[in-house]
């Protein structure tokens, strides 16, 4: 049986996980349609918004495809990049004086470490999920040993073909795809409201948001 938090997302097995994750794609497109469809002027912040939307959709679709293909290496690496995109939306929303840096194609933009560290401080849950994704995405124990196991008789079982070590890992990957999509949805709305994109109207200011509480 999957964990309670996974079942709460409507995920009970691989089939329901795939259905929930595919449906979650619409959570990204909802704010995109509502904001882009009511926008007039094309501003730099509007371009950043559309870039976040495109990146989120592409990473979501690719991650769900790799989860269905039972490829943990690609799945968790894509989900990690997907989580980073959500963290970048949060950072850009709270740092209006740095938004233009996301369009700096010749420079270094904002370092991903700075972005994820900020997300860690703002949302405690982000740190745990991102840490787990990094362990799978990097060439470390969880990732390297995902295709290796030792049977009860002491026989080594290994396959070069990708597969999830446990069925639960696939369900967790589907659940993370759903949760990141929902977080992205909320953050896209907050970004658009902060900068007065589309029907939100007037921006709320041009100074950094106050630092998060300790």
CA distance 87 to 112: 9
Q: How confident is the model at residue 143 (pLDDT cuts 50, 70, 90)?
A: low
| pLDDT of 142 | 67
Cβ(103)–Cβ(48) under 8 Å?
Answer: yes
| pLDDT of 212 | 47
Per-residue pLDDT tens over the stretch 99-131: 999 998 887 789 999 999 999 988 878 888 888
CA distance 87 to 197: 20
Work out how many domains the chain is built from and give that number. 1
Q: How confident is the model at residue 190 (pLDDT cuts 50, 70, 90)?
A: very high
pLDDT at 213 over 50: no
Question: Does some domain include residue 210?
Answer: no
Question: Does some domain include residue 45?
Answer: yes
Structural domain range at position 178 = 4-200
CA angle 95, 84, 123 (to 5 degrees): 65
């Amino acid at each position: 049986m999957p964990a309670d938090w996974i079942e709460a997302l409507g995920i009970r097995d691989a089939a329901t996980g795939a259905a929930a994750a595919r449906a979650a794609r619409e959570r990204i497109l909802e704010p995109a349609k509502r904001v882009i469809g009511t926008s007039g002027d094309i501003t730099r912040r509007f371009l950043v918004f559309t870039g976040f939307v495109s990146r989120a959709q592409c990473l979501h679709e690719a991650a769900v495809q790799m989860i269905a293909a039972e490829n943990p290496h690609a799945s968790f690496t894509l989900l990690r990049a997907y989580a980073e995109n959500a963290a970048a939306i949060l950072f850009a929303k709270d740092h209006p004086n740095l938004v233009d840096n996301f369009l700096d194609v010749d420079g270094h933009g904002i370092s991903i470490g700075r972005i994820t560290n900020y997300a860690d401080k703002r949302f405690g849950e982000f740190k745990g999920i991102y840490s787990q994704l990094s362990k799978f995405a990097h060439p470390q124990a969880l990732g390297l040993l995902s295709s290796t196991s030792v049977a009860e008789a002491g026989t080594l079982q290994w396959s070069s073909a990708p597969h999830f070590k446990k069925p639960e890992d696939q369900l967790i990957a589907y659940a993370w795809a759903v949760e990141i999509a929902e977080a992205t949805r909320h953050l896209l709305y907050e970004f658009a409201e902060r900068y007065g994109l589309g029907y939100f109207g007037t921006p709320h200011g041009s100074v950094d948001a106050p630092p998060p509480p300790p």
